[in-house]
Amino acid sequence: MLRQAAAYPAAAFVVRWQIILVLLFAPIFLFPSMRLVPILFILPVIWIVSWIVTDEPVDLTPLNGSLALMAIMVLVSVYATPDIAFSLPKIAGVLLGYAIFFAGVRLVESERSLSIAWRCFALAGALLAVVGILGTNWITKVNALQPLIAKLPQLIRGVPGQTEGFQPNAVAGALIMFIPIQLALTFNRRANRVLHAVLLLLTTTTLVLTQSRGAWLALLLASFCWLLWLGRRPRIAALAIAATAILVAIPARHLVIQSVGSNLSGDVAGRLDLWSRPITAIGDFPFTGMGMNMFRRVLPILYPTFLTSPDTDIAHAHNHLLQAALDLGLPGLIAYLGLWFGAAALLIRSHTTAPPEQRSLVGGLAVGLIAYFLFGTADAIALGAKVGIFFWFALALVVSCHRMATRVS
């Protein structure tokens, strides 16, 4: 009896603060190997302990139905993949995403903890920006930035899967989720305003240095869409800004094209050529997908492109919806879309019912996720990708905001 009494508080502590265990074991999920696979079962152990202590393995959220379907399709992908070792990094990445989501939702149970979560999210974006500056494999698209990029230190190299440095578009696609929230924190919080402004400046600077035109455009379009949705005055302002930009850009279109970098038309042609291949592949593997991370291996063999050399490693379909269907089949795509539609509904409800001081933060979260979605239409951060863990952090914030907003209302 004494042992049981001592064990129950310990188990309750593990359940309450499971985020600590998740962070401790995160490197194994980010850089997995077949010999470390047994350690991945730490997540089911945590959820079983939670089941014993709270009668619920994980918190009930409006997104659980989509998450359950996606989990089933991840298991199906284990069966479908011809090389489990090659698929393992993406499978482990999805498992880590689930762990971050459910640990984050469980941890945020009050206005104070939600406020801390906002600041942690903003800080995570700045840390990613620092890692990006030190570890990105820079590609010059805008000549004006070349002198500055040439002076940046290349301190982070040799990371498994990114031996030559991080892909700048992937870094940019993740950063655009953070900038709207950092901006909202800068103007919404009197305390630590200078700190939030520094975080915003650091993240924005790194985004500019990535020269990711898709990320820049996605963030601008997301901000425009949000202003259109907000109300009459923001809508008029957004339309006026857009009209002015078009009137200025049309006569100076050659200068605009030159300023955003070379080979823009070639990039568009390459995307159109590439997108036809995954559409065909989805028709060949509609229910199971071809296995996570397998597109980059199957593409040059079964679906070679005309405009890209067979020796080029094309990591994904450059469209997150197509990539989800390739990895997890059409049921997996339905689950992935379910997460997005569910998150959108929760954000709308949260923004409608949240206290005034929280609405700008909810709006910032919405703009960041819209930008992330738009970025994924012409590029992709695939499910299970390392920087994709921030998407799961954002989803946990969406659910937590909804809980707090509905509790207040």
What is the distance of C-alpha 104 from the center of its chain?
15
Task: Spell out the residues 6+ positions from residue 175 whose beta carbon is closer than 8 angstroms to its own.
Answer: 125, 128, 129, 132, 203, 206, 207, 210, 215
Can you tell me the distance from the alpha carbon of 342 to that of 337, in angstroms, rounded to the nearest whole number? Answer: 8
Classify the C-alpha dihedral 182-187-190-192 as positive or negative. positive
pLDDT of residue 311: 73
Element (H, E) at 19: helix 18-30
318-329 burial, b at 16+ Cβ within 10 Å, e below that, comes to bbbbbbbbbbbb
Query: Contact, 118 vs 364, CB < 8 A?
Result: no
Please enumerate in sequence order all residues whose Cβ is within 8 A of that of 101, keeping only pairs 6 or more positions apart, or say none.
67, 392, 393, 395, 396, 399
CA distance 270 to 210: 20
User: Given this model, what pLDDT does residue 101 score?
Assistant: 96
Name the stretches of the chain with pLDDT < 70: 1-8, 10-11, 189-190, 245, 247-268, 307, 408-409
What is the per-residue pLDDT for 377?
93
**pTM (whole model) above 0.95:** no
Exposure b/e, 78-87, CB count within 10 A at least 16 = b: eebbeeeeeb
How high is the pLDDT of residue 3?
A: 43
Give one word for 289, left, alpha or beta, with left for phi > 0 and alpha for psi -120 to 50. left
Count of positions (residues) in the chain: 409
Beta pairing partners, 136: 166
Those residues with Cβ within 8 angstroms of residue 145's Cβ, 6 or more apart along the chain or in another chain = 208, 209, 211
Listed in order, strand segments (DSSP E) in 195-289 are: none
